[in-house]
Structure 1
Amino acid sequence: MASKSCSSCLRILQRQTTPKVQRLFPRPRTPRSFTTAARYHAESDYNVTNIHPSTSIPPVTPERAEGGSKPASTQTSSSALQGLRKRTTETYTAYGATEILYKECAHQADYSIPQARDKDAEMPKTADEEDLGVGVGWWHTEVGLQPTFSTWSQVTMLHMYLLSARFRCFPATSAQPWQQHLLDHFFYDAENKMMIEHNMHARGTRNKYLKDMYVQWRGLLAAYDEGLVRGDAALAAAVWRNVFKANPDVDIRNLAEITSCMRKDLSKLDGMPDEMLMRADWAFSSPKGENTLVESKSQMMDLPFEKASGRDLTGEKGE
């Protein structure tokens, strides 16, 4: 009887002490941002290198005693975690840098509508029934573009295109997140303007406009890419269709200045190291006074606009 009682007491003591031992070595919590593969490697690394009641201590081999190379599983997990840390760091870097670069794009033709803050005030309209605001800068004062949401979005996307063209030169693993973060900043800001400057509080209406803007962005990429390949006349025609809405009364000298400035900024970005671009400590060129077209401006002005652009003025607007 005494022997049986001692055995029961021993089992009770074991059940009481085992949880305490396990609590001394809690399993590490894996961050939610880890991928499945990274989580697997992290747990495998823990089981090999940490003391746990359910595992045995690996034997001390001569390589381990002399500080030799780590097991293959540990090397694999370490390289996977290092790659994960690098991608995570780069994502945060890209988000912060593209936010600064986007603000440089957005302020080029920025505007505001004071009447939007007053519920009783009547919203001014253009001839096309667009909300008309107040804006300053070369695009409004010199070019004569009206300070509207449409003008702001097209000028902003033009400068975003210059950055996106440069981001394509990044390594394949870096180019996509940089372009995506730049585009995200634009759509966040565009939706914010819809609510603040245009009192557009219906989410469904905002989503409709945002979808249309995304289609315009995709068409704009193709149009400006084509212009860069075909020459300045084709690039000026793309600017005319998107920024100026195919207005037949546009001053061709403004088109020449904008086209020249786009070429100049692309050349400057092409010669800029990736690190300098990522620091976002530079600015776009001012279009005013630009007259260094690859194709002679005087040659373009001597031709009717239909021939200089390669398209009919009655053609489709945009893109």
Structure 2
Amino acid sequence: MSASSNQPANKNTSSDTHTDSQNYRAMIKSLADTKTWLFVPATRIDRVEKAFASGADAVIVDLEDAVAQTDKAQARAALKDYYDTQHEAKNYRPIWLRINQADSAEFAKDLTLCQQLPKLAGVLLAKAEQAADIEKIHQQTGLPVIALIESAVGLYRIDEVAKASGLLAFSYGFLDLCNDLKVQVDTSSADIIANQIRYQLILTSKIHQLLAPIDSIYADFNDSTGLHKRVQLWSQMGMSGMLCIHPKQVDVVKQALQPTAADLSFAQRVVAEYERSGQAIFKVDGNMVDAPVIERSYQVLSSAK
């Protein structure tokens, strides 16, 4: 995805402003099938090609948590060198960049780097808390922004942040939020909080016509069973994708998103009957089928492609 051809237009503060730009709507549509967002440390820029080879839909080079404070300048320089040699290649695929939080000393340096990188796909802002920070990134780079909600303040302000010009989507850092909220991780209480966060992000994204939110990382990359269950949870809730921290997670996420044989068979019968009869309401397997069921059946068939 080229940033220059898919820049979201400036938005007003009303909830319908995301519909103002044809390019913005096209970007939302183009990313609807982006399910796996794989992190690569900026100190290991050599892993970008391996990350894409894993089948990840998007690759995020991380200048924030994955890079020690003493290594950030060197990481930026390495990324600039990578772009200088790779961005004109025929097989080049644009990457996303996670930058440091807006109140850090690294933020301005990261923004300068973004301005120097041609064909960058977009920016993830760590610890997003203010609409003004999103707009500053977009105004200075022309790039779409994904806001990472990682603090109580950021979560409290999500409706304000959602109105920012250039905002594409939300994700969240659950471990950071747990630390800030004093929630004990890996408990049933943490699960309740996580689902509440998901619900808030899903609702806010829908109201402001953003891309559906992207779920947080699953830390144990050797636990494919647990990851599979997590993917089914967020996908059933209506989120669009997931942040991944290891290439082996990519296939697990994609497999977990495939409809079951029973769901696929039912969807096929619903669509076949709808297209045969043209009726708005009918029965399949003794179940009443109306517009929402028909729409969902088309979604199931699309997800199986």
Place the TM-score, normalised by the shorter chain, in its bin: under 0.3
Q: Normalized per residue, which structure has more strand?
A: 2
Query: Between Structure 1 and Structure 2, whose CA radius of gyration is higher?
Result: 1
TM-score by length of 1: 0.24
Higher RCO structure (Cα 8 Å, ≥6 apart): 2
Q: Which has the higher helix share?
A: 1
